[in-house]
Amino acid sequence: MSQYNYDEEGHFFPFVVLTFLIIILIPITFSFLYVEYKKDKEYCCLCDFCKEKNKILHEYRKRTILKPKISKKAIFISVGWCLVGYVIYQISSIKVEHKIWDPYEILGISMSATEKEIRKQYKKLSLKLHPDKVLLNETQTRESVESLYIEVTKAYKALTDDDVRRNYIEYGHPDGKQDFSIGIALPKWIVESKNNYYVLSAYAIAFGFALPYFVGKWWYGNKLYTREGIHAKSAERFFKGVEEIMVPGKAELLISQSQEYKFLTGFEDELKTIEQKILQKDNKYLLHKQQDLSYRKTYLLLYAHFHRIGLQSFKLRKEQISLLESILALHAGLLSISLIYGFLQPIIYIMELSQSIVQGIPSSGSPLLQLPYISKKIAKGILEKIGYPITLQQFIKIPEEKRRSLLSSYTDKEYSLIMDVASKIPILNIVDSSFKVTESDFISPDSIVQFSFKARCIFLGEDVEAIESEFENKTSDENELNTLLGYRKKKNAEDSVVPYAHVPFYPKKHKPKWWVFLVDIKHDRIVVPPISITDIGKSIRTFQISFQAPSQIGLYTFQIQVKSDTYIGTDFRKNVEFKVDENITPKNSTIINNVSQKKKLKSLHKDTKKNHALQEEVTKKNASDSSYESSFDEYDTDNSYHNSTSDSSSDSDTIN
């Protein structure tokens, strides 16, 4: 039967504990510190509104002795490193008695001693340490004296006898290779019979109670929440609430009925005042649907946020902040459920709700309310002076003198801040787009179509036309090749990602994001689910969306839409066309797949004299074959096979 050696003296077990602690703690600590470092580097606006928000958040998140607000992860890391320090202290206090067998030390001579000196010293020690001549005292035994004499003899032979000396040189000991054992670095008391009861009890608690408890908690917890992290009851309400046409306020109602907000209890007098304001408006029927007090309270807190009603109660402000910190996760769940139905109107409405949440503006509010210092009264006055609602793009394009006169009530400093914030609002600019089928020059029924588009982030203060002309002047062959091969340019100052959004009424830092998707405007349906784009800089990037082509032959008009999740009035839409045709012969399949290819073909005729001469030579050489010329005639006269982004006057670039 095999025998196992355990760590009887406890010399090695601390090293095992230390190893496991370090393996666990180092990655967790680095990830924790990296998140904290990123928080310190986050953008922080210094306008009066953001300062007020930071003041409120500081008061809300202020730590006290009774409420230190330390995360569980921070506590775990702190306790872990304390254990590491304790284990290191235990290791440093371990005294390991392990001496190297040294014949010179045993004989009491130096390593430079000659053979004559070695023999002389051995004779001297033999007379002194021989067991028959040593008088034993109280601390000595005959066995210990004999053992010492044997060691002296071995040391002498190791330095004088050739065979013994060879063993000493090769193995470090005159007796040759010594036995060694490999044991288990666990304390021996774990396997001692007297401790069996305690060890088995620990196993029973760990594997019989703790493991099933945590697995069960994880399992039933997962059953309560969807993949998006929202409660199953909330998701059920969302499924039932999404309709083909959703009335204004319905999405807010659904979110306020989420199971996540059941913790909002109590109904303060301040909320009753807000409730009276709602009852005087047209959407009072929505409030009557909120029978549960917690849902009713949630709806009122949301209403106060959208209409920027300041809450006097510190408790209500805390509850509103807690609500807003988690609302975008619920919004994402509601949006994903609406995408299952594919109805266009509710999807657009829910996407625009994200803008209202982040900016603290109702769905019917003016986009100008996103700018600092501009109130509802000022926005209404600008509307009356201009005569029609304006977007942020239109506001930026107003001549300087007229714009300053519209904002004449503000000081130069306030006006400068308004324009600074407005000019730094990002928009996603679709530079180019095309429809293609892999390894095919045409789009056949039910084929997989790749919708490619090039996009970049620009700011409202920049000249869009100049940026587009700059793109047109660039050689696109290299860009397409780099995209195909996956090459990326090294980032420079211009490629920096979009900064954090200016959101003085939202309690968290927020990075702008855009949804890009294709819409069938004739049937009000989403053709391709939206892709999410964030952290895009000024450099042009290429994106692709795949979808199945219609089964019927014909010319189809879709619409590419870009919706921001942050800024109101910066959305974009444009009509795009493509034709589904039958499988035809290559001779009749002259197809220009995108706008950039059409421009390259036109620029080919306007190139250098060398290129013109080359074309003439090719034409003469192939005079017998008229297919070359007919292909160009076909391109000039027949547009039936052009599967390109529509850039005619019928296409619309609309600012929402």
Q: Of 63, 92, 121, which residue is a domain's last?
A: 92
Q: Which of 189-198, 248-257, 365-374, 402-411 has the lowest mean pLDDT?
A: 189-198
- For residues 199 and 239, membership in a common domain is answered with no
From the list 644, 432, 651, the residue with the least C-alpha distance to 543 is 432
- For residues 401 and 440, membership in a common domain is answered with no
CA distances from 127 to 29, 103, 134, 230, 258 (A): 66, 18, 9, 91, 97
Distance CA 80, CA 74 (A): 10
- For residues 285 and 298, membership in a common domain is answered with yes
Q: Does the pLDDT value for residue 623 go beyond 60?
A: no
- For residues 438 and 542, membership in a common domain is answered with yes
Residue 114 burial by Cβ neighbours in a 10 Å radius (0-12, 13-18, 19+): exposed
Share of the chain above pLDDT 90, in %: 21
From the list 515, 511, 494, the residue with the least C-alpha distance to 502 is 511
Cα angle, residue 217 at apex, residues 211 and 218 outer, rounded to 5°? 90
* Per-residue model confidence as pLDDT tens digits over 21-41: 999 999 999 888 877 656 544
- For residues 458 and 565, membership in a common domain is answered with yes
Half-sphere exposure of 257 (CA within 13 A, CB side): 24
* Per-residue model confidence as pLDDT tens digits over 54-81: 777 777 666 655 566 677 888 889 999 9
CATH number of the domain encompassing residue 282: 1.10.3380.10
Report DSSP letters for 163-188, one per residue. Answer: HHHHHHHHHSSTT-SPP----EEEEG
Distance CA 350, CA 251 (A): 7
Work out whether strand 6-7 and strand 554-564 pair parallel, antiparallel, or are unpaired: unpaired
Distance CA 24, CA 393 (A): 52
Query: What's the rounded mean pLDDT across residues 610-624?
Result: 44
pLDDT (0 to 100) of residue 428: 92
Distance CA 222, CA 215 (A): 11
Work out whether strand 554-564 and strand 572-580 pair parallel, antiparallel, or are unpaired: antiparallel
pLDDT (0 to 100) of residue 543: 92
* Per-residue model confidence as pLDDT tens digits over 319-345: 899 899 999 999 999 999 999 998 999
CA distances from 640 to 375, 442, 578, 582, 635 (A): 52, 11, 10, 12, 10
Indicate the pLDDT class of residue 355, thresholds 50, 70 and 90.
Answer: very high
Looking at per-residue confidence, does 307 or 100 come out higher?
307
For residue 186, tell me if it sits in a domain. no
Query: What's the rounded mean pLDDT across residues 181-208?
Result: 80
Indicate the pLDDT class of residue 97, thresholds 50, 70 and 90.
Answer: low
137-146, 212-221, 489-498: range with highest mean pLDDT: 212-221
- For residues 239 and 350, membership in a common domain is answered with yes
Q: Under a CB-based contact definition with an 8 Å cutoff, are residues 646 and 578 in contact?
A: no
Work out whether strand 184-187 and strand 6-7 pair parallel, antiparallel, or are unpaired: parallel
The label of the residue with tokens 């714009």 reads 403
Indicate the pLDDT class of residue 106, thresholds 50, 70 and 90.
Answer: confident
pTM over 0.85: no
Question: Could you tell me if residue 457 is left (phi over 0), alpha (psi between -120 and 50 degrees) or otherwise beta?
Answer: beta
Q: Which of 197-201, 219-223, 342-346 has the lowest mean pLDDT?
A: 219-223
Task: Give the total number of structural domains in the chain.
Answer: 5
For residue 609, tell me if it sits in a domain. no
- For residues 524 and 572, membership in a common domain is answered with yes
Q: Of 60, 92, 124, which residue is a domain's last?
A: 92
For residue 398, tell me if it sits in a domain. yes
Indicate the pLDDT class of residue 205, thresholds 50, 70 and 90.
Answer: very high
* Per-residue model confidence as pLDDT tens digits over 450-468: 999 999 999 987 765 555 5
Kindly tell me the number of DSSP H helices and DSSP E strands found in the chain.
Answer: 25, 10
Length of the chain: 656
Which pair of tokens denotes residue 628? Answer: 């070359």
- For residues 309 and 387, membership in a common domain is answered with yes
CATH number of the domain encompassing residue 167: 1.10.287.110
* Per-residue model confidence as pLDDT tens digits over 587-599: 333 333 444 444 4
Three-state secondary-structure class, residue 330: helix
Q: Of 43, 69, 92, which residue is a domain's last?
A: 92
Q: Under a CB-based contact definition with an 8 Å cutoff, are residues 164 and 158 in contact?
A: yes
pLDDT (0 to 100) of residue 84: 92
Q: Which of 94-103, 438-447, 511-520, 602-611 has the lowest mean pLDDT?
A: 602-611
For residue 323, tell me if it sits in a domain. yes
Distance CA 102, CA 158 (A): 10
From the list 449, 408, 470, 391, the residue with the least C-alpha distance to 576 is 449
- For residues 242 and 385, membership in a common domain is answered with yes
Question: Could you tell me if residue 486 is left (phi over 0), alpha (psi between -120 and 50 degrees) or otherwise beta?
Answer: left
Distance CA 350, CA 571 (A): 14
* Per-residue model confidence as pLDDT tens digits over 411-450: 998 899 899 999 989 999 998 889 988 888 888 898 999 9
Looking at per-residue confidence, does 643 or 336 come out higher?
336
* Per-residue model confidence as pLDDT tens digits over 469-508: 555 555 445 455 454 444 444 444 445 678 888 888 998 8
Residue at 655: amino acid letter: I
Neighbours of 498 (CB within 10 A): 21
Query: What's the rounded mean pLDDT across residues 394-400?
Result: 90
pLDDT (0 to 100) of residue 45: 65
- For residues 493 and 378, membership in a common domain is answered with no
Three-state secondary-structure class, residue 290: coil
pLDDT (0 to 100) of residue 619: 45
- For residues 85 and 109, membership in a common domain is answered with no
Which pair of tokens denotes residue 398? Answer: 């107003």
Three-state secondary-structure class, residue 100: coil
Q: Does the pLDDT value for residue 98 go beyond 80?
A: no
- For residues 331 and 240, membership in a common domain is answered with yes
CATH number of the domain encompassing residue 549: 2.60.40.150
Provide the greatest CA pair distance for the chain.
127
Mean model confidence pLDDT for the chain: 77
Query: What's the rounded mean pLDDT across residues 621-629?
Result: 40
Which pair of tokens denotes residue 295? Answer: 């849902």
Find the domain containing 450 and state its range: 426-586+644-655
Distance CA 56, CA 536 (A): 31
pLDDT (0 to 100) of residue 141: 81
Query: What's the rounded mean pLDDT across residues 41-62?
Result: 68
- Kindly compute the dihedral angle of the four CA atoms of residues 358, 530, 653, 541, in this order, to the nearest 10 degrees: 90
For residue 140, tell me if it sits in a domain. yes
Query: What's the rounded mean pLDDT across residues 126-150?
Result: 80
Distance CA 618, CA 620 (A): 6
Query: What's the rounded mean pLDDT across residues 171-200?
Result: 73
Query: What's the rounded mean pLDDT across residues 190-196?
Result: 78
